[in-house]
Structure 1
Amino acid sequence: MPIRGSGRSALLAALTAVVAALLAVLSLPHMAAGAESPPAVPPRGSAHMGMGVVAHDGRGGLPAGRAAQTEGVDVSSHQGKVAWPTLWNSGVRWAYAKASEGTYYTNPYFSQQYGGSYDVGMIHGAYHFATPDTSSGTTQANYFVDHGGGWSADGRTLPGALDIEWNPYGDACYGKSPSAMVTWIRDFLNQYRARTGRNAVLYTATSWWKQCTGNYAGFAATTPLWIARYASSAGELPAGWSSYTMWQYTSTGPTVGDHDKFNGTLDQLRGLALGS
């Protein structure tokens, strides 16, 4: 039976509404099939050791146990309050805590992390996350020392570490040429030594070092290397270093994610703390 009168009007109104809704959906901005939105830039201050290692350097198997290596961890605000007795009981004997970043950030958990590791018997140290695009190496070394990154000859305090790796906030090399990056790092290391009397430890990944310093070899003679590589071996080292002092081998370890090996015995680690 043909639809007449008010029934036909109601049907037409309903169809018109459906068509309008479809047109509205089709007119919305949309992404091409398979396209992904760009990754969000994290807030300043949230960077930590190894933040870019998995994305840029991959992840492999865990290392085989070696009697001549000593287990350690590194922590930042991401770990919050750390269960130091648990880590001590699991065999961890040294720890680094993030103290600062750039000249705009200090770790709000630094006291509990730095002091807590010491209190359970660990040898401890502090590290600085470098942002070479925000201020000079000299300025950031001073900021680090002034905010927890100093050193004392107590046999329990390791020299401060410079964390220099992929920029989580922008260009991987912070907009610097290899020669400019080398100059920035040299300025930081020189000022740290002037302020503390110790050579800072340098934390980096080989692939970043090649990309952003041109695989510069000039720091190896005086600077202990802390290599980042999540694999069954530390692999190729940056130019100039024939061995590493420390190795961050995983970001998924027990209690806290970032676990490390000191390339020697506990007595040798104490020697590094003392400056021998």
Structure 2
Amino acid sequence: MDFLTHDRATVRATHNRAVLIPVTALITALALIATLLGAPRAAAFSITSPQGVDVASWQHPQGAAINWREVSAAGHRFAFVKATEGIGYLNPFFVADSKQARNAGMLIGSYHMARPDSSATAQAAEYAAALATQPQPSLPPVLDIEYAEGLGPAQLSSWVREFVTEIERLTGRKPIIYTYRYFWRENMANTAEFSDYPLWLAAYENQPPSDIPGGWNHMTFWQRADNGVVPGIVTVSDVNLFNGGEQQLNDFSAGIDVNLGQVLTAGIDLDAIGGQIAELEALGSSNRELVGAILAVAAGALAIGALVAVAQSQGIDLGPATEIVNRVRDLIASGDLPVPDLEAMLRSGDYTIGDLLILLKNAQHFAEQIG
């Protein structure tokens, strides 16, 4: 997903602890690095399900247009377009992308990027106003919740409750909740309060995740990667799958209840319907070795260059491994490496490399917008 502006004091208070790594965490990290083994590459993931993209201003570098007819021709059935973020931001491409994707024969949706440090009611109102400009019919509204911004689990739950209640009142539609595992488990205390809302889960891996947080027993949408190569889009793009068939997707968009109730199942090769995805086998693996290495680099116990070898040992190719290293280097240099979150991941051992990449990407976007 895409992020806009952030409060400097909040992010500094959250992330400016990059070198304060407990000795126990560092010992664990170094022990994990010492036991690294190479991981074989796996075949491309395949699945039977309508696929689609989600886009924001990031997919329009220097104002470049998206060719939605090419996106549709590549097999993408739906498109979520970022509408709003926080208070006072409307994606300048929202209306054009929505209309063009619709004209290309795609189902369209939207999402609001939550900024829980300001009023949920006000944010819902601005999002609802934006939705009034989107062609209909559309997929249900989406709350994208990925940042705590200094709020604890009880406060965040209250914020989400206020937002989803208000957006449903304003639009008459039950919203979808977009999140990822680490955020929901750690920042939302894995609450099951919202499990009757449709879930859109970001989980970068080659098999449908079965360890779904928050009391949900299935995903409605699965964001399977953020580096899809999609014809018609000049940048890489988030790519997604709907947990059901074509008719179920149409029914869901029309507001008809659909009974999904299971995780996605294997089927046709994704390469056959467009959007090649790299590293999915590696991204579904445990992230403990890579997290340990990043913490060791942050503490000065491991050279940054060694991180490339550690990432490659986990099955990540040189190009993506180098991107990870560059992101970590930039976050350390700016004081925005999310050390407390990395330590929590290391202690847990339950998160994937894909979860780690979402965390690092979010931290970098957060830092870039306040710089």
Q: What TM-score does the superposition give when structure 1 sets the normalisation length?
A: 0.72
- What is the CA deviation profile of residues 198-251 of structure 1, one whole-angstrom value per residue up to 9, with x for unaligned ones? 111100001110111100001112x10000011112422112101000000011
Partner of 1:8: none
Give, in angstroms, the shift of residue 64 of structure 1.
2.6
Runs (5+) with no aligned partner, structure 1: 1-41, 46-59, 168-172
Matched with 1:22 is: none
Q: Does 1:147 align with 2:143?
A: no
Deviation of 1:194 (Å):
0.4
Letter of the 2:139 counterpart: L
Partner of residue 152 from structure 2, selected from 177, 188, 192: 177
Q: Relative to structure 1, is the Cα distance of residues 63 and 113 closer, same or farther in structure 2, using a 3 angstrom cutoff?
A: farther
SS of 1:258's partner is strand
**Which residue of 143, 150, 163 corresponds with 1:162?**
143
Give 1:149 deviation, angstroms: 6.4
Taking the aligned partners of 1:77 and 1:97, their CA distance within structure 2 comes to 9
- Kindly tell me: are residues 263 and 43 of structure 1, through their superposed partners in 2, closer, same or farther at Cα, counting changes over 3 Å? closer
Q: Which has the higher helix share?
A: 2
Aligned counterparts of 2:217 and 2:163: Cα–Cα separation in 1: 23
Q: 1:54 aligns to what?
A: none
Distance verdict in 2 for CA 1:89–1:185, change over 3 Å: same
Distance across 1 between alignment mates of 2:202 and 2:44: 13
Q: Which aligned pairs between 1:178-257 and structure 2 lie closer than 5 A?
A: 178-221=153-196, 223-235=197-209, 236-255=211-230, 256=233, 257=237
**1:233 alignment partner AA:** Q
* Residues paired across the two proteins, number: 210
Q: Write the mapping of 1:23-172 to structure 2, written as runs, cut at 5 A.
A: 44=5, 64-67=45-48, 69-80=49-60, 81-133=65-117, 135-148=118-131, 156-165=137-146, 167=147
Using the TM superposition, give the Cα deviation of residue 268 of structure 1 relative to its aligned residue in structure 2, in angstroms. 0.6
- Aligned twin of 2:254: 274
Structure 2 gaps, min length 5: 7-40, 257-371
CA distance in 1 between partners of 2:142 and 2:254 (Å) = 15
Normalised by the length of structure 2, the TM-score is 0.54
- Partners of 1:259 and 1:230 lie apart in 2 by 10
Q: Kindly state the Cα deviation for residue 62 of structure 1 after the two structures are TM-superposed.
A: 8.6
CA RMSD after TM alignment: 2.1
% identical equivalent positions: 33
Q: Secondary structure at the match of 1:239?
A: coil
Quick check: 1:126–1:149 contact (8 Å CA) kept in 2? no
Q: 1:207 corresponds to which letter in structure 2?
A: Y
What SS class does the counterpart of residue 158 from structure 1 fall into? coil
Distance 1:216 1:62, change over 3 A: farther
CA distance in structure 2 between the partners assigned to 1:62 and 1:184 by the alignment: 42
- 61 and 242 in structure 1: CA distance in 2 versus 1, 3 angstrom threshold: farther
Q: Secondary structure at the match of 1:186?
A: helix
Q: For residues 110 and 150 of structure 1, do their structure 2 counterparts lie closer, same or farther at Cα, with a shift above 3 Å needed? A: closer
